[in-house]
């Protein structure tokens, strides 16, 4: 069977020892210096974005998010007395993935948009970057599009904060 365009694009990111690896290293230097949330014009990994439903039309917004890597510390509330070894502060893993946390933070930052999906971009020793696809439910082009208009309905509001993504 013949390969399509997006399959070639996807393979570019999978295969190491290509120009994609050195390109990503140069981009990560810029990403580290940048803000936590950055609106971008085009997706970095086009095949991933298209698989999640992204289209290059009005009403779609892409945001690159920077998240700290590693486990989390459990809050130290109501732990009086002794025996610090039983507090369970470190080596604590949250139930949510970092990708979900990134989607929820973007939803809080842009409350008038809805999160359609997100995908992994890159990571270094301290941060992980994700790209989150947002949709404007009030945009007339989104309301006309039969593949995405479901997100304009009332029951899908802020679905990422309810754990539905």
Element (H, E) at 64: strand 60-68
pTM: 0.83
Could you tell me which residues come within 8 angstroms of residue 20 by beta carbon, excluding any fewer than 6 positions away?
A: 12, 13
What does the pLDDT read at residue 130? 97
Alpha helices in the chain (DSSP H): 5-14, 19-33, 46-51, 98-109, 140-144
Structural domains in the chain, CATH included, are 39-70+91-165 (3.40.1120.10)
- Taking only the tens of pLDDT, the chain with its 165 residues reads 678 888 888 887 776 666 677 788 888 999 999 999 999 999 999 989 999 999 999 999 999 999 998 877 766 666 666 666 666 676 677 788 899 999 999 999 999 999 999 999 989 899 999 999 999 999 999 999 999 989 999 888 888 888 887
What does the pLDDT read at residue 139? 94
Tokens for 63, please give them.
């945001």
Contact indicator for 129, 121 with CB cutoff of 8 Å: yes
- 50 burial via Cβ count (<10 Å: 0-12, 13-18, 19+): middle
Contact indicator for 12, 19 with CB cutoff of 8 Å: no
Contact indicator for 131, 50 with CB cutoff of 8 Å: no
What does the pLDDT read at residue 82? 64
Residue linked to tokens 């510390």: 73
d(CA 14, CA 79): 47
């Amino acid at each position: 069977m013949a390969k399509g365009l997006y399959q070639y694009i996807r393979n570019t990111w999978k295969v190491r020892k290509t120009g994609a690896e050195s390109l990503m290293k140069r981009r990560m230097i810029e990403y580290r210096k940048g803000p936590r949330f950055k609106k971008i014009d085009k997706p970095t990994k086009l095949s991933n974005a298209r698989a999640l439903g992204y289209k290059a039309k009005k009403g779609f917004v892409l945001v690159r998010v920077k998240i700290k890597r590693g486990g989390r510390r459990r809050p130290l509330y109501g732990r009086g007395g002794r025996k610090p070894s039983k507090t369970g502060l470190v080596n604590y893993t949250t139930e949510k993935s970092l990708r979900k946390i990134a989607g929820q933070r973007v939803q809080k930052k842009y409350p008038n948009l809805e999160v359609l999906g997100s995908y992994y971009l890159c990571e270094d020793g301290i941060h992980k970057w994700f790209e989150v696809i947002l949709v404007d439910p009030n945009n007339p082009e989104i309301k006309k599009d039969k593949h995405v208009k479901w997100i304009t309905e009332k029951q899908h509001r802020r679905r990422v904060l309810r754990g539905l993504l």
